[in-house]
Chains A and B, each alone.
Chain A
Amino acid sequence: MDQFTINIIFVGGSFMLYVAIAIWARAGTTSEFYAAGRGVNPVVNGAATAADWMSAASFISMAGLIAFVGYDNSTFLMGWTGGYVLLALLLAPYLRKFGRYTVPEFIGDRFYSQTARMVAVISLLVMSITYVIGQMAGAGVAFSRFLEVDATTGLIIAAAVVFAYAVLGGMKGITYTQLAQYCVLITAYTIPAVFISLQLTNNPIPPLGLFSTHVESGMPLLAKLDEIVQELGFRDYTSNHGSMLNMTLFTISLMIGTAGLPHVIIRFFTVPKVSDARWSAGWALVFIALLYLTAPAVGAMARLNIMTTIYPDGTDSQPISYEERPDWMRTWEQTGLLAFEDKNNDGLIQYYNDASPEFAAIAAERGWEGNEMVRFNNDILVLANPEIAQLPGWVIGLIAAGGLAAALSTAAGLLLAISSAVSHDLIKSTINPNISEKGELLAARISMAGAIVVATYLGANPPGFAAQVVALAFGLAASSLFPAIMMGIFSKKMNTAGAVTGMLVGLGSTLLYIFTYLGWFFIPGTNMLENVPANWLFGISPLSFGAVGAALNFIAAYVVMNMTKEPPEEIQELVESIRVPRGAGSAQSH
């Protein structure tokens, strides 16, 4: 059986499973559509949250990001997991006790203000729509690589599948498909990692393999990697090369950004009890950690593998010739994500850091005229892993299904956050408060369908700023929603004026800082300052500014709160009531 047929079987099989779940888990009420009837087991919700959270970026890109940068990109590992501690301790149990359906609804009710609710709706829509574009585009790429259809056709197939389970099942359908998607993606990620770890270190557990001995050289794996990359003029893998302040702020931005993402928060509305919300955050992190502990091992091992593939007899000897390159390189060259150029016409592949002045003399002495692996896209690393480790064809099919599961599960979660904001926060609360339960459910389904159409269109025609959007989403979540929700719970005296000012200051300062360096609305050429570390305020990169925006939000809110009237008695009682678990019960009808 050829690889194409195997890929079709795996991807097609997983899609049929998702659609079958959708038919089984149809939503009949708004409570089921928005919050899966609040009947989801906390462990199941943990796995669904993990799939919801781990996007194409986690599955496909993260190992590559770590592999080619090393220690400095540990920020992604700490940032994207540390947010769950904030969720479990500061947000999830209280929001579950509050017992409503959307994040803007909490902000609107707690700050007794339609304005506050609308500011929250706008932040939610901007961050979720930008985020979903990346997921749809990622699904399109996975389709075109593995199923040999063009990206747009792939995208439409993916959209049709999401349509089936998200529109029919709402949160209920999404939850159980995400559970299935988690199983698919974690299996796909782990199997090649286990084999690579076994090959390099004899240890079947990749996170342990990362810190054990490299069998071939007898040295610790990371020491071997440091040695080999430095011999070729690259920066060593395990030391710190960037600014510590910037690293710290970037990590904090990712942490609070994670805790403030609405599509993650609403997952905690689906569990039956307040105590379940706490447990569920823990289970979510366990399931996420299975991938996040494996990713740095995959990164380091794959980087070492590539080095030793190109220099089989050590870096002092000749590299392999272009004609004898392994098959996986041939396959990926066809996608354009990997490219070689024989600069000195010797038929061999010289791979080294030609930007290093220290290495220039050695390169000149050897007759090297520049790095000849001219392109190696980070995303290849995970997708080509089974081929690099020479695993059978079915593992490649599994990786294809896993990548799509990661992209689709996140897309579905985001689409639900978008559609519930439209149907519940805009239509039900603002345009037509007298809408019936049936009417609202229909409105929710239509909003979901609309959101899918918009996301598919934008995924097929991504705006120029697609690469920047994830940073924007995290910056916005960190600087606007997280502080507002946290103050709503932990400060009884926080009032409308304080919360609204805080959100606007956090949002405004973060957008301003990002646009200053990346261009107004990401239009190239409109940036006021060149995006280089020398221009950054105190060396803080635009991607790390969310933490500063959040701090400004807190400060502005407190200053304004102290100058304005304290909230009414019933709001202060509301805060008292969400602080204790007793009386959570099921969804309130309103």
Chain B
Amino acid sequence: MSLSELKIIANRIRRRDLRAVFEAGAGHIGGEMSVTDILTALYFAVLNVDPDAPLDPNRDRLILSKGHTALALYITLSERGFIPKDEISTYFRPHSRLNGHPDRTKVPGVETNTGPLGHGLPVGVGMAKAAKLSNAAWRTFVITGDGEMQEGSNWEAIMAAAQFKLDNLTLIIDHNRLQQGAWLAETNNIAPLAPKLEAFGWAVEEIDGHDMAAICNAMSPQSMVVGKPKCVVAHTKKGQGISFMTDNVAWHHKVPNAEQVELGMAELEAAAKSKELVQ
């Protein structure tokens, strides 16, 4: 799939996300916009997954550890054919399987139930270890938020992954520099992340998390480092794609009003028609 096609899909996911948050009156739109390009690249250019065989033992595994941005995952899964596109309108509704946080027992393509932060990476370490024990080639990817890296359980997993030489494991940190209440730097400044991961024995690459080519390259099999787990520090912006939300702490889980939806949608539609996307 071409970079242009990936960008068009990411733009479509953002538009659906904006509308879904408005319709549901809920979501974590800031972090959904920051992770959308990463999810798009993974599901359409990197992951070996099959919507018709979501439990194929040899599939690649993706864990969205920042489970509060489940809506972006659901929309990506619907674009990839795991769930029907029209099901997105049930998000947050009573008895919908599209809960505010993903449930693997109900939604095909979800690998583990996340929501409480700091859970995805330990589970990813177990998956990668299982593949190693089975001499299997499938890979494991985990996406965390940057604020989420404040959870101690991540560092337990980081130590174990290096000890076990899990080069089949890739951690992508959605480094949007904002957490719920304030800037990361004002809260518990875990940045810079790269030297910390390097000190723990990981191979680290820093990229622009909205540069589709950079994301794809950083996840490619060629970029794997033998004997070391890999961390991709993806520099992103909360609310990416909608100017008044970008880098704005107010949009962690704020719900836009009708006027704001119009404004945001106009920007995303303009981007969809821009030279960059249609070339």
**A, B from the same assembly:** no
Contacts from A to B (Cβ < 8 Å) = none
